[in-house]
Amino acid sequence: MKGAVRLQKYLADCGIASRRKAEELIASGRVSVDGAVVTGMGSKIDPARQVVRFDGEVVKPDTDLIYILMNKPKGYVTTLSDPQGRPVVTSLLKQIDARVFPVGRLDIDTEGALLLTNDGGLAQKVQHPSHETNKTYEVIARGTVKPETIAALEAGIVIDGRKTWPAKISRVRRQAPCTSLQITIHEGRKRQVRRMFQAVGHPVVNLKRVAYGKLRLGGLKSGSYRFLGPEDLKKIYL
Ligand code: URA
């Protein structure tokens, strides 16, 4: 890292959190530069000359970048710590010295594919609105989801006063009293899939993310994970 960089970018590049999350950490007063807490967003630092601390610990760039695909079980949260004491996904990782963080969120009651990394750049790319990768979910929704409802979900429906981006729905099967299907979306709004189906009167009873782009969860067992190589990473953007 050369020259002055934005503080949130430095934290992300050092594997503390995604850039978005790093901004929250700064705002909450957990980051200091040369001993002074910084809460504003504009600051730049010179990593060669200044000392950045997160929760009192010196922040330095990670040399090895690690990419993990986990099959997140239900009941785990995707934050790094939980004030309510619920289990965190990183507790499922064994013998990994680097400080990896989840890329984006998966609700506590949602299972399936979750990327973890110490590469702030990748996290930023996967989550940034201009890049947001495709994410595919297997959904079991209550009731019979009719073809016209599927068309409406695909075209985009209004949640939070904003229309969702076009989605793709496939593998629709009636499983009385529910319907199972796959949906691929390009955004990452909070509880988006659940809220989309809720909005059309078919609450989600089970939700599992099965792919980021063309990177599929495959046969990974619940709670287990594997390391990703360059070929896997390319598939995220396909
Ligand atoms: N949509 C949801 O509703 N929940 C998730 O965890 C991910 C996408």
Any ligand 1 atom below 6 A from CB of 136: no
Any ligand 1 atom below 6 A from CB of 189: no
109 CA: nearest ligand 1 atom: 6
Same domain, 83 and 181: no
Same domain, 138 and 208: yes
204 CA: nearest ligand 1 atom: 3
Omega before 177 within 30 of 0, i.e. cis: yes
Same domain, 121 and 149: no
Same domain, 184 and 82: no
CB 55 within 8 Å of CB 30? yes
pLDDT at 49: 83
Same domain, 208 and 189: yes
Total structural domains within the chain: 3
Query: In whole angstroms, what is the distance from residue 67 CA to residue 236 CA?
Result: 12
SS3 59: coil
Any ligand 1 atom below 6 A from CB of 78: no
Half-sphere exposure in the Cβ direction for 194 (13 Å, CA): 13
Distance 145 CA to ligand 1 centre (A): 19
Same domain, 185 and 207: yes
* Structural domain that includes position 203: 134-212
Q: Which domain CATH number covers 71? A: 3.30.70.580
Same domain, 49 and 74: no
Splitting the chain (238 residues) into consecutive groups of 10 residues, what average pLDDT does each group show?
A: 80 86 94 94 85 91 84 95 93 86 93 94 80 91 98 96 95 96 93 97 98 95 93 87
